[in-house]
Structure 1
Amino acid sequence: MSDAVAAYFEEHRESSDLGRRALRGGIISIVIQYGNAVLQIVAAIVLARLLAPEDFGLVAIVTVLTSFAPLLIDFGLLDATAQRSRITPAQVSGLFWVSTGIGVAVAVVVAASSPLIAWIYGDPRLQPIALCVAITFVLSGLTNQHMALLRRTMQFGRIGRIQLFGTLAGTVVAIAAAIAGYGYWALVLRPVISSVCVVVAAWSACHWRPGAPVFDDDVKSMVRFGLHVVGFTVAYTLSRAVDRIALGLLYRPDQVGYYQNAMNLYENSIYSALNQMHAVGSSALSKLQSNPAALRQKYEAALSMLAFFVMPVAAILSVTAEDVTVLLLGQKWQAAGALLSIIALRGISHVVEGSQGWLHLSLGRADRWQNWGILSLAVQIVAVLAGLPFGPAGVAWGVVIGCSLIALPSILYAGQPIGIGTDLVVRAVGPQTIGAVAAAAAGWWLQSTLLSSYPALARLVLSGGFCGCLYLAVVVGVFRQVEPLRIAGTIMQDFIRKR
């Protein structure tokens, strides 16, 4: 075995520079992820002007219905490989063949269900869309363990570049297809091309190759761990998808399209950063699983820093959502901007709720994570049903309120085994939450009164600048929260010196 491959299978050990490595990896990941988001937004701008809202709605119906499938394929084994203290190449081979087999099985099930999907929604166009989407599930099973080994060695920059390459290729093909007049097929081709490119890039970046599998007790233990992880992720993904499933059943495809594009803008600006930090946070904290005191300390510092930078982005996005959407996607998408102004508020509490996985996985308690996923699904269903009679806006408010109510309890439950309580969470995110809420409230007032007659671009710049300054005045000026700025500055200086 070469040294490059052997590095993937080294035992987890606590190191003196773990915090710095994790922060550096997190910053690099987020920077690349936002580069990815810029590509996604460029694609959204171009495709929104070339395609109709109905095109987006048709594809959204299928992708939301099948959004659980990649989670079944992963089966939690990506997290199991990254979290495990010791692992062998033969064991990873066993997990690889499990993921690949599940990918093929899920693709067959989705393809066989395509006539049923078309019948339920009364639109025959959904059947061929579902058949093409099924291809991505086969491809997904071929990359999970390669990406897990890269995450295990904290090569987050390389992971980000792989994802960026896939997004770029899919975007280019989608735009070309839309210009050629293929309509919604441009949106169908996009994930297929991206998946093909990710497979090629992941196998090129990670030189490990699967061999004969081993299914010993350790592998069985990892599969059990993965079962709990996939239990959470399926429940959580369904909780995120239930809004569009319900809207698709009761409202026209164009209404689903508005909601879907609003959600796309939120996910590319807020959720993508949180998702990237999940990989960094869980991988780094897993190396501290034998030292609960250090784990609590590092978790608090990481959560505080993430909240410091993400919460104001959510507040600014909420205030400027309509102007951002119209400027990016065109006047016909103004309804999506109104929805985004509501959905973006979720980012303030999403920072807290999204970090629960760091604790569950680093402590090896995926079973508790699964339990919480089921609870969050129940809360989300109630929230969506409460808002559904009021249309897409009512559903958006239901989602935001439901997420906000369970944010703090999610961390108290996840951190219970190592004594994380309300005081730690308040210390970590209290000032940032107050600053973000104050910035959003003042920004809305400014938008509706003093700036209502201004051009969209000028209003966007003035509102965004006002919200950012108010946030810093509250968090830094009043609460004296300067540590995240100091740490970020130190990491950036270190990164520049190394460059």
Structure 2
Amino acid sequence: MQRSPRLSRRASASVLWSFVRFASDQMFNFLVFVTMARLLPTEDFGLFIVALVYAEVGKIIASGGLVSSLYRAPEITPTLADTVFWSNLLLAFIVAVAGLVLQGQIASALGRPEGASVIAALGFVVPITALGASHMSRNLRDFGHKSLALRSLLSGVIGGGLAILAALNGFGVWSLVVQRYVTETISTIVAWMAFRWRPGFQFSLQTLRRQLPLGGNVAASQLVILFISRSQDVIVSRSLGASAVGIYRTAWKSVELIAQGTIMPFSTVSLPTLAKLQSDPAAFRNAYLRIVAVSAAISFPCIVGFGLLADQLIPLIYGAQWEPSVPVAQVLTFLVVPYALNFFADPALTAIGRADVIFRLALVQLAGTVVFCSLAAPFGLTAVAMAYVVRSYLTLALQLWLFNRATSVRPLVVLRAIAPPVAAVATMAVAVLLLGLAKSQFANAWVFVVCAALLGAAVYGLALGLMVGAKVRGQALAHVRGFIAERRG
């Protein structure tokens, strides 16, 4: 059985609208982030980032696991829908109350006792998120990315605008809390408008028990994956202070914004697409390799290009006070290959019901992150970033092996799919570095950045075009023409 043309067209349309959605999301996130970075001191950023760990954990507990049942179920019955919705909401309120009661202990454990009240406030964002989790997942299941593009646009504009207004009026770290509340509230409202479903009261404990194994595995895996990233913040917080957390997370956020903006549109579509192909191994394999290859071709030059120009871009964009983020960001761009594979391994394994594999791999990654970053912390932020990159490549081999066992997609086949973008981006890097030798000849930093970006794009495009071959170029163009014809029809 081959992937149906209709499914292919719907996936292509969803990728397009995912780009619109993530482009608006990332654009406003970036603009707000830049503005807030110029308005708030590094300490406020660091305090908020550490406090946000609790809300992110609560969000996964309340909404991250059970909604996976809505993706994989052949048919969503009223009982299943109501059970997932009310279970998510109950868990969310438990998280909120626990954050209020235990705020002091949680803040101390995270290394920032002064952030107790911020933790308590952020905990009550979780029920707002849970209210819209089922609606959003069911809309995505039906490839409803077009309507959800509005969600990102509205939440980004209004939430970011109010956060900036609060910062200008001296709210400090609380302006970031305001942004979180407004963004999640608008997102939930739009999710309800996009998917016209109202929860009933057909809650079933038996249905909940049937969904708990998969949902629990997915949530546990997501928690471990979250800790892989956020454990670095806690280690830096306890070892180097809140300001260091702000500097480290600014570098991380800069790279992450680019990665999410270029990879997440494909990753979001991959789960419902691959879930529909779970009974056809050949079609599943082909779809997975195709989406990984296309995503890598788009994301690699953007991520690596930022790293090559970070010494110019970070002071220009964020201000001179963020220059210590430059070497950290440059090191983190070496995560380009793990990013390309990590963003798709989890959706693919979830689609075939192998969340247990995600969990085992994530545990190894978490243990490695804690050990490597803890050992590196006394040597500074750049050393922490280097430790994380080394750990990522060491565990990449394990990821490919486990993925092969679960899906029969061989590691060499996966690596071959991303080989052309790797070679092309290496060629691009050489060209940009050579241009950098004449940096002093340019009128100012912005002129150099623009010229370097144009040169890099031209070299990358030419190199990639030569490497992928005429057959692949023809297939890609045919796919694009078919999609355009479908839209016009």
Q: TM over 0.5: same fold? A: yes
Correspondence 1:244 to 2:227: no
Structure 1 SS opposite 2:353:
coil
Q: 1:483 to 1:94 in 2, by over 3 A?
A: farther
User: Cα deviation per residue 1:272-306 (whole Å; 9 max; x = unaligned)?
Assistant: 44334322101111111111111111111111111
Alignment correspondent of 1:145: 134
Q: Of the candidates 120, 132, 150, which is equivalent to residue 131 of structure 1?
A: 120
Q: Distance in 2 between matches of 1:356 and 1:315?
A: 21
Shift, 1:326, TM fit: 1.8
Correspondence 1:23 to 2:15: no
Alignment correspondent of 2:154: 165
Q: Distance in 2 between matches of 1:274 and 1:168?
A: 22
Instruction: Please tell me the residue identity of whatever aligns with 1:251.
Output: L
Q: How does 1:242-391 map to 2 (within 5 A)?
A: 242-391=231-380
User: Cα deviation per residue 1:470-493 (whole Å; 9 max; x = unaligned)?
Assistant: 323332224426368526743663
Q: Distance in 2 between matches of 1:122 and 1:18?
A: 49
Alignment correspondent of 1:497: 488
Alignment correspondent of 1:9: none
Please identify, of 300-309 and 320-329, the stretch whose mean Cα deviation from structure 2 is larger: 320-329
What is the TM-score when the length of structure 1 is the normalising length? 0.91
Q: Distance in 1 between matches of 2:403 and 2:111?
A: 42
Correspondence 1:418 to 2:385: no
Determine if contact 1:83/1:282 at 8 Å carries over to the other structure. Answer: no
Instruction: Please tell me the residue identity of whatever aligns with 1:233.
Output: Q
Q: Distance in 2 between matches of 1:233 and 1:63?
A: 16
Q: Distance in 2 between matches of 1:359 and 1:374?
A: 18
Q: Of the candidates 469, 477, 482, which is equivalent to residue 486 of structure 1?
A: 477
Please identify, of 15-24 and 438-447, the stretch whose mean Cα deviation from structure 2 is larger: 438-447
Instruction: Please tell me the residue identity of whatever aligns with 2:24.
Output: G
Q: Distance in 2 between matches of 1:249 and 1:216?
A: 42
Shift, 1:139, TM fit: 0.9
Q: Distance in 1 between matches of 2:445 and 2:95?
A: 46
Instruction: Please tell me the residue identity of whatever aligns with 1:265.
Output: S
User: Cα deviation per residue 1:343-367 (whole Å; 9 max; x = unaligned)?
Assistant: 2221333111221023212212122
User: Cα deviation per residue 1:210-231 (whole Å; 9 max; x = unaligned)?
Assistant: 1113426554332211111111
Q: Distance in 2 between matches of 1:80 and 1:452?
A: 57
Correspondence 1:230 to 2:219: yes
Structure 2 SS opposite 1:106:
helix
Structure 2 SS opposite 1:197:
helix
Determine if contact 1:353/1:411 at 8 Å carries over to the other structure. Answer: no
Instruction: Please tell me the residue identity of whatever aligns with 1:126.
Output: G
**Which stretches in structure 2 are left out of the alignment for 5+ residues?**
none
User: Cα deviation per residue 1:158-211 (whole Å; 9 max; x = unaligned)?
Assistant: 223213322222101101101111111111111011111112111122111111
Q: Distance in 1 between matches of 2:337 and 2:451?
A: 21
What is the TM-score when the length of structure 2 is the normalising length? 0.93
Determine if contact 2:293/2:418 at 8 Å carries over to the other structure. Answer: yes
Q: Distance in 1 between matches of 2:278 and 2:17?
A: 24
Structure 2 SS opposite 1:68:
helix
Determine if contact 1:312/1:436 at 8 Å carries over to the other structure. Answer: yes
Q: 1:64 to 1:323 in 2, by over 3 A?
A: farther
Provide the alpha-carbon RMSD of the alignment: 2.3
Q: Distance in 2 between matches of 1:332 and 1:380?
A: 28
Shift, 1:75, TM fit: 3.9
Please identify, of 27-36 and 481-490, the stretch whose mean Cα deviation from structure 2 is larger: 481-490
Q: Distance in 2 between matches of 1:304 and 1:51?
A: 39
**Which stretches in structure 1 are left out of the alignment for 5+ residues?**
1-12
Q: 1:68 to 1:292 in 2, by over 3 A?
A: same
Shift, 1:453, TM fit: 5.7
Determine if contact 1:94/1:219 at 8 Å carries over to the other structure. Answer: yes
Alignment correspondent of 2:439: 451
Determine if contact 1:248/1:256 at 8 Å carries over to the other structure. Answer: yes
Structure 2 SS opposite 1:142:
helix
Q: 1:312 to 1:122 in 2, by over 3 A?
A: closer
Q: Distance in 2 between matches of 1:212 and 1:94?
A: 8
Q: Of the candidates 430, 453, 465, which is equivalent to residue 476 of structure 1?
A: 465
Q: 1:299 to 1:64 in 2, by over 3 A?
A: same
Shift, 1:383, TM fit: 3.0
Shift, 1:49, TM fit: 1.6
Q: Distance in 2 between matches of 1:285 and 1:483?
A: 24
Shift, 1:154, TM fit: 0.9
Determine if contact 1:139/1:196 at 8 Å carries over to the other structure. Answer: yes
Q: Distance in 2 between matches of 1:419 and 1:117?
A: 43
User: Cα deviation per residue 1:434-482 (whole Å; 9 max; x = unaligned)?
Assistant: 22234335534543x2225642112211222232233233322244263
Correspondence 1:199 to 2:188: yes
Matched pairs, number: 485
Q: Of the candidates 63, 74, 92, which is equivalent to residue 81 of structure 2?
A: 92
Q: Distance in 2 between matches of 1:491 and 1:162?
A: 28
Structure 2 SS opposite 1:86:
coil
Shift, 1:109, TM fit: 1.6
Q: Distance in 1 between matches of 2:377 and 2:441?
A: 33
Shift, 1:62, TM fit: 0.7
User: Cα deviation per residue 1:213-257 (whole Å; 9 max; x = unaligned)?
Assistant: 342655433221111111110000000111111000011322211
Alignment correspondent of 1:51: 40
Q: 1:175 to 1:155 in 2, by over 3 A?
A: same
Q: Distance in 2 between matches of 1:483 and 1:269?
A: 28
Q: Distance in 1 between matches of 2:5 and 2:91?
A: 39
Q: Distance in 1 between matches of 2:381 and 2:478?
A: 40
Q: 1:84 to 1:278 in 2, by over 3 A?
A: farther
Q: 1:77 to 1:473 in 2, by over 3 A?
A: same
